[in-house]
Structure 1
Amino acid sequence: MAIGVNTLGEVAGQANDVRLVLLHDNVGKVLVLLPATVLLNLVSIWRDTERHLQPVKGDDVKRFFSQEKLLTEGGQKKLFSLPVFIDVKCEALDTLNIIEPYSGLRFSANRSWYMAGMRSLRLGVSLSDIDKVQPSGDDETVISHAVERFTALRIRQRLEDTLGLPSLAPTTQKIIMLRSDDAAGVDRLVPVVKVDPSLSAQVMSWSVSPYYAAPGSIQSIDDAIIRVLGFDLVVNLALGIAMGKTLSLPDDTPRNQTPYWQQAVYTATLAERLAKKMSNDIRPKPGLVYLAGLLHNFGYIVLAHLFPPHFSLLSRYIEANPHLRLDYIEKHILHVTREQVGAWLMESWSLPEEVFNGIRYLNDPLNSKADAYSQVIHLANHALRQSGLADGPVDHVLNPEVLVRTGLTQAEITAEVELMQVDSESLLEFTHSLADH
């Protein structure tokens, strides 16, 4: 289960609200104090201290700061016997309101507690500072800029040629054509599945999954698609699996991360359920919502493929800044986000516009280019974060304007998450069947 932390926007509004971060290396542990809502710039610490300090694993941080003695003033004072690196913006403050996001520990600290072991550094980067240095232009221009800046590649005529991304298999290309054709049905899908042994085996495996609880035995591909799974589900799962197989899952990911396929399936499942609860006049197509949910994090794999030396750095920054939106951390490190590269690649592979547009704006659901697909996936992802089933900072209340635009309520969404968790065992088994292929 993911260890979600609050965005701190609700609890950090004063100038002396600071975030406490625990780092370590082979020399020992250190404490970092910086303005609560900014990004901790690890590279600054490495450069100025000549120590390659790393974030402590999230569940270890939670355990460390949940010690009972830290609820007392004596224990809090003793904590500062560790070396302290403090951001220059905080060094002159007489009293600090300390916030540790993993454990929820909060207390006030007097400057005298940490003066003896304090070292002042420039540690924090604000979100506005991150935005100021982002390249301008459309997504392809931004991706090209990032590739040229952070790799040895030089962009040629076609960006997709430069990146060395594998082409999609013929079966996958046929399924994309079916997905984009509103008139396509089971009669055209069954022959495509039958001529691909791997896809046929997957379809049979899905059809007997406890999650679908099909009555009777499944005798054939036709039976599996027509009686149990249906056109939409088979097309969407086949596309999700095929695209997931084009690139390997990264190894050096943030610790305590939700497994890729688990987050994909849970987001797709919840988003589809929410779409079906929306009124007919604004309801997005549930099948395309499911596909967008299944692929919503695909750009994360693409980032690992494009920027392998920097991907480990990105993982450490995510661990050190669990309160920040993931796209801002990616902008700071790479100047491009997973949503930008994922959506751009899906567009170049001719997936439906609803899918790539829904993914592109899931972090910006009120953007003028966002639509119901972005909004319902945004709500699903953030609701799953609240239950520890998806990665990223946790807002205790879902975006009220997005709720209004979708006609959904926090209570309805919470109820759907709870209903989905009733099926968690069979849903996880289904997730494992996807991850194993």
Structure 2
Amino acid sequence: MSVAVNSFYSADKDTGEIRVLLLNDHEGKALVMLPAHMLLNLVSIWKHSGRHLQPVKGSDAIKFFSQTALQSTAGQKKLFKLPIYIDESIASLEQLEVVEPYTGLTFTAERQWYQDHVSLCALGLTALSIDHQQPKGNDEQVITRAVERFTTLRIQQRLEDTLGLPSLPASMQKLVELRSDPSAGIDDLVPIVRIDPSLAAQVMSWAASPYYAAPGDIDSVEDAVIRVLGFDLVLNLALGVAMGKTLKVPDDTPRDGVPYWQQSVYTAAMSELLCKKIPVEVRPKPGLAYLSGLLQNFGYLVLGHLFPPHFSLLSRYLEANPHMALEYVEKQVLSVTREQVGAWLLENWSLPEAVVDTVRFHNDLEYDGEFAQAVRLLYVANRALRTQNLADGPIEEIPDWVLDELKLSQQDIDGALSTVMECRGELDSLVHTITHAQAI
């Protein structure tokens, strides 16, 4: 289950609120308190406490902080009998305006409740301090420094040769070439699908999926492509799934996180629906919008491949900091983000520049390059899905200027989101088809 985080504060702005977090280990529970805009540095509390405290699952946090007793001052005061670790920046405050992000519980805590058994240490990091310590340079230089720092690999002349990343199979390379060829059509695509048994079986399964609601039986690959799915959809699904199949979904993912393929399929569907609502004169290509949505989280798989010993640590940090933009958590733990490594690999695999840029910058509202409309579209699709626990990351308000630029309204977003929710059964069936193919 994915747990949405209430947006009481911005990760970039100090609102004066203090975040409370429940941790535990074999010795029992403990509370952590730090300014709400800060990232909790788990390594700091491990060193300070001598305990390997871990954040509880989001669903467990909801159960704990939703207890009726915590709605009263007496219950809140009793909560503070637990061992408490407080960031030293707030040590002198007589009162703490406390917020628990999963449940929205807020209350005022008095210093006298915990002053006799509190432990003070430097726990928090701001987004600015995280950015300040990041390696400088272009994406490839940043990736190289991160790999050198967190692995024993010696970087060769070509980064992609060093990392042991899988190469694309021949059929995949042909699909990439088709995606980049504006004159390519169904007659070019069907032979490629037909000679790859795994791909052909998947295309037939997609065409039979309730989501596409094809009338009658589908008798052949040609029938599936021509009558049901169409050139763009088959090509984009085949590309996205084939790329996902080259890298394994990490084992120790954040608990309560949205499964990789569920997020990919839902983001692709939401992107396509929103794209169709944008006026033609400013509309990105729907096919590329779908493919960008399908691949928007691809860098997550690459991080798992590059940094397997550190991926579990990243997962715990993501659980401990649900309010923080994912990129800052990744920068703190790995010094590189999923957007950087994902876009870098897609570029090396010769994906269209529009897809590469959209995947790389879809969380960056300062991007004003050639594909700004596609970037904004994916940003909106992702934020909309977060409100329904269908994409990872904190809930964030979409700026009005972004909607104005896309010529979309909130009603357009709500309508597309409603369609996605109505089609959950069919979309989940498609997710099942893809994940089953990955396991073969």
User: How many angstroms does 1:366 deviate by?
Assistant: 3.0
User: How many angstroms does 1:190 deviate by?
Assistant: 0.7
Determine the C-alpha separation between the residues in 2 that align with 1:140 and 1:14.
33
* Aligned counterpart, 2:219: 219
- 2:281 aligns to what SS in structure 1? coil
Determine the C-alpha separation between the residues in 2 that align with 1:12 and 1:244.
33
* Aligned counterpart, 1:127: 127
Matches within 5 A, 1:300-319: 300-319=300-319
Larger mean CA deviation between 313-322 and 401-410 belongs to: 401-410
Residues 318-357 of structure 1 show CA distances to partners (whole Å, capped at 9, x for unaligned) of 0000000001100111110000000010000000011110
* Aligned counterpart, 1:177: 177
- 1:23 aligns to what SS in structure 2? strand
Matches within 5 A, 1:219-258: 219-258=219-258
* Aligned counterpart, 1:104: 104
User: How many angstroms does 1:11 deviate by?
Assistant: 11
Determine the C-alpha separation between the residues in 1 that align with 2:11 and 2:331.
25
Determine the C-alpha separation between the residues in 1 that align with 2:269 and 2:276.
11
Determine the C-alpha separation between the residues in 2 that align with 1:165 and 1:324.
29
* Aligned counterpart, 2:407: 407
- 1:389 aligns to what SS in structure 2? coil
Determine the C-alpha separation between the residues in 1 that align with 2:120 and 2:243.
47
User: How many angstroms does 1:9 deviate by?
Assistant: 2.2
Identity %: 55
Residues 233, 287 of structure 1: 8 Å contact kept: yes
Residues 141-174 of structure 1 show CA distances to partners (whole Å, capped at 9, x for unaligned) of 1111101111101111100000100100000000
User: How many angstroms does 1:219 deviate by?
Assistant: 1.2
* Aligned counterpart, 2:337: 337
Structure 2: gaps spanning 5 or more residues = none
Determine the C-alpha separation between the residues in 1 that align with 2:190 and 2:10.
52
Determine the C-alpha separation between the residues in 2 that align with 1:289 and 1:11.
28
Residues 246-272 of structure 1 show CA distances to partners (whole Å, capped at 9, x for unaligned) of 011101000001111110000000001
Residues 158-199 of structure 1 show CA distances to partners (whole Å, capped at 9, x for unaligned) of 000001001000000000000110100001101111111111
Change (3 A) 1:75 1:130: same
Determine the C-alpha separation between the residues in 2 that align with 1:310 and 1:373.
32
User: How many angstroms does 1:13 deviate by?
Assistant: 6.7
Residues 16, 90 of structure 1: 8 Å contact kept: no
* Aligned counterpart, 2:53: 53
Residues 5, 323 of structure 2: 8 Å contact kept: yes
User: How many angstroms does 1:16 deviate by?
Assistant: 4.2
Residues 172, 242 of structure 1: 8 Å contact kept: yes
Residues 16, 95 of structure 1: 8 Å contact kept: no
Determine the C-alpha separation between the residues in 2 that align with 1:16 and 1:351.
45
Residues 299, 340 of structure 2: 8 Å contact kept: yes
Change (3 A) 1:13 1:148: closer
Residues 275-323 of structure 1 show CA distances to partners (whole Å, capped at 9, x for unaligned) of 1111112110000110010010010010010001111000000000000
* Aligned counterpart, 2:390: 389
State TM-score, norm by structure 1: 0.98
Structure 1: gaps spanning 5 or more residues = none
* RMSD, aligned CA: 1.3
Change (3 A) 1:14 1:325: closer
Residues 65-92 of structure 1 show CA distances to partners (whole Å, capped at 9, x for unaligned) of 0111111010010000101100000110
Change (3 A) 1:10 1:175: closer
Determine the C-alpha separation between the residues in 2 that align with 1:401 and 1:12.
19
User: How many angstroms does 1:365 deviate by?
Assistant: 2.9
- 1:436 aligns to what SS in structure 2? helix
Determine the C-alpha separation between the residues in 1 that align with 2:381 and 2:195.
35
Residues 18-75 of structure 1 show CA distances to partners (whole Å, capped at 9, x for unaligned) of 0001000100100001011100000001111110000011100011001111110100
User: How many angstroms does 1:389 deviate by?
Assistant: 1.0
Determine the C-alpha separation between the residues in 2 that align with 1:23 and 1:64.
11
* Aligned counterpart, 2:366: 366
Task: State the number of aligned residues.
Answer: 436
